[in-house]
Structure 1
Amino acid sequence: MKMVYVTKYCRGVFTDPMLTRCETIMAEVCDKFGATLTESNGKFVDVHLLIHYPPTVQLSTLVSSLNGVSARYLRQEFPEHIRTYLWGNHFWSPSYFVASAGGVSLSIIAKCITNQTRRDPLGSLRPERASTRIGFLGGDAGGGDWDRATICAAIHTEAVAQQKRV
């Protein structure tokens, strides 16, 4: 499943160390549910995840845990930085995007996540992989007529649209 979380008010909170820590936190949460965080990356306002979870896990419970646990740890570990962008106990927008990977190969979705852009400490954008876990996804199994750019654009557009509805 592909997930996109957006920070509250679309504020550019994330730094590279925060994105790396967020990935670690979310991988730990997934492990507790018997799920696998296959790929993750993000930009300064959002985090993109590719998660494989067993059918016994309720999606809403997994989403709530990822949301709550990551927000709590990130606020504890980066309090001063986060306070300059967000106030109160807010971190994530109440909206998020979830899509099943049916009809699109996992490698295409993983490439979409991998090709997200991170901001370097000086504020400029640069492409960077968040992890090297893409290797075990295997080849394209399916995929249809959708190219990577179309999938990335559709996912991002829907996530932004959901954010604006709140």
Structure 2
Amino acid sequence: MDRKVRQFSAGVHDLALRIVWCAKYRRPVLGGRVAERLDELLRAKAEERGWEIITLEVMPDHVHLFVKHDPKSSASYVANQFKGFTSRVLREEFPHLKSRMPTLWSSSYFAASVGAVSVTTVQKYIDTQWERPSKKGERS
């Protein structure tokens, strides 16, 4: 994946999340036409919000999503935008999802930030700041 920095009014960013969420009770209801439609809906929501889906896998009982997002959107906001929108539309279009489960998605999700450098690299960079020469030749 190429690193693509995006600009906004207050700066630049390169933010990405790995999000995983499950169907209620881990029921395998995300197959066939439901899976196809879920894929379409997730891509439509990302486009609407200006987010970029890097990778998406719809499994029978859960979803894996790798998405780049804007700096004003928290991980919980991103996850809930995808989950809420898709639940509403899929349950309207596929009535069997209403009759088999009280809600489509489990209330929980997993989210992890994904960066271009490791935690160790960032920690080392910060820890060695005083060892680096400053631009003016002295420490402030």
TM-score range, shorter chain: 0.5 to 0.7
Match of 2:22 in 1: 6
Asked if 1:64 corresponds to 2:77, the answer is no
2:28·2:61 contact (CA, 8 Å) conserved in 1? yes
1:13·1:85 contact (CA, 8 Å) conserved in 2? no
Aligned-residue sequence identity (percent) comes to 27
Equivalent of residue 85 in structure 1, options 79, 95, 100? 100
Unmatched 5+ stretches in structure 1: 105-141, 145-166
SS at match of 1:64: helix
CA root-mean-square deviation:
2.1
Asked if 1:52 corresponds to 2:68, the answer is yes
Match of 2:115 in 1: 102
2:75·2:111 contact (CA, 8 Å) conserved in 1? no
Unmatched 5+ stretches in structure 2: 1-16, 121-140
1:9·1:93 contact (CA, 8 Å) conserved in 2? yes
- 2:24 & 2:116 partners in 1: Cα distance? 31
- 1:18 & 1:55 partners in 2: Cα distance? 31
Counterpart AA for 1:40? L
Larger fraction in helix: 1
2:39·2:58 contact (CA, 8 Å) conserved in 1? no
The size of the alignment, in residue pairs, is 103
- 1:96 & 1:14 partners in 2: Cα distance? 16
SS at match of 1:50: strand
Larger radius of gyration: 2
